[in-house]
Amino acid sequence: MAIHPIDYRYGSEEMRRIFEEEARLQRFLDVEAALARAHAAVGSISKAEAGEITRKASTEYVKLSRVKEIEAAIKHDLMAVVEALAEACGGAGRHVHLGATSYDIVDTANALQFKAALRIIKRDLYEVEGVLLTLAEKHKGLVAVGRTHGQHATPITYGLKFALWAREVRRHLRRLEEAEKRVLVGKMSGAVGTQASFGDKGMDIQEMVMRDLGLKAVMVSSQVVQRDRYAELLMLLALIAASCDKIAKEIRNLMRTEIGEVSEPFGKEQVGSSTMPHKRNPIESEKVCGLARAVKSNVFVAMENVSLEHERDLTNSSCERVIITESFILLDEILKTLKTVLKGLVLYPKRIKENLELTKGLNMAEAAMLALVAEGMPRQEAHRLIRKLSAEAYTKKKELSAVLKDNKEISKLLDKETIEEILSPEKYIGTAVKQVEKVLRVAREERK
């Protein structure tokens, strides 16, 4: 019976398969087989024995039910795998797990899981970036009001907003590529890291096993791969989740009834509320934000796991079974949900224009101030004057342009036509369009 929501609600089948019990068992077996092949290569066991271990190192022969049966008796999950594989291998079984400690197998299998899961995360990030770039290009000239501290600021373009997010996603892709060098590692170092159980062939065996599995070998370890590597991974997953949270939160805010500039996709049969039939709630964006909290919270546990005692203790084991699986599967759900939201995002240009003009030109006060400076008025004096006139326009609910035109000091420097031109939001977006075009140009090269 399913208990955790990731069993039935969150994460794609593709991602969940990576973390299923049988898939994890197969990775343990893959590592055991690679170890046997390395032993054969250095002459510790015969090639025939290694071949038999390799052939039987499959869930076709080593059943999960048998592993669980053994574990129930001996109370050691990895040793249960070893015994079940040894049973299946007959005479060759005497060489299964030769020289290894449990976490030689566990941590190397973890790296194989990470490799498969990160491949999905990178693919989804790449697709999210692509959607954002498409939106940036489509809306690079769509002028909207910028907001700082929740208040109307100077104009921005929606294209610049999307381009900003696209570059953040690109940075995550680079971070993943860099982190993989430190995270996709395995080891064969024995009980405390000395490789004593492998004799003088330890370093060779370790290199062979990892090359066989497509991983890097650690340079040095204790009984476990050091958990700063895992903490980096979990922090990176959390950082990606935080960026998704940021994007989804902005969409949620822009969907507010009072703002109404965008909307996430809403199906014809979709229900917004069980009691209020009119509701069109941003449930997908809210899900992204909610799940991001769970992913971010797992970082604390990963950081605690860095400081294991002496050559290791077991405090990391139980919690890693939770936080690693959760973080990958929930981030998978987050990315796929965000991608759907962005692909179906609806923008409302009319409402965007209305909001741009909502403050009757007050959001263009900076442009007016700089125009006065350009005509020779000291900057601080211009700031004080425009601040005073902005307050007057706000209090009297008048257009800023009207207040400026009536002011004698300003009339000496700026005529009415110039004032109208200065207060045009479309003419005060600086290099926004050029910045978007640069992002698009660079991104096209990066994505080749």
User: What are the catalytic residues?
Assistant: 149, 273
Distance of alpha carbon 42 from alpha carbon 190, whole angstroms: 17
Q: CA 335, 339, 340 angle in degrees (round to 5)?
A: 120
Distance CA 29, CA 22 (A): 10
Lookup: tokens for 73: 């008796």
Instruction: Report the alpha-carbon angle 373-376-377, nearest 5.
Output: 60
Q: Look up residue 370 and give its amino acid.
A: L
Token code pair at residue 118: 């990160």
Q: At what angle do helices 283-304 and 228-254 cross, to 10 degrees?
A: 160
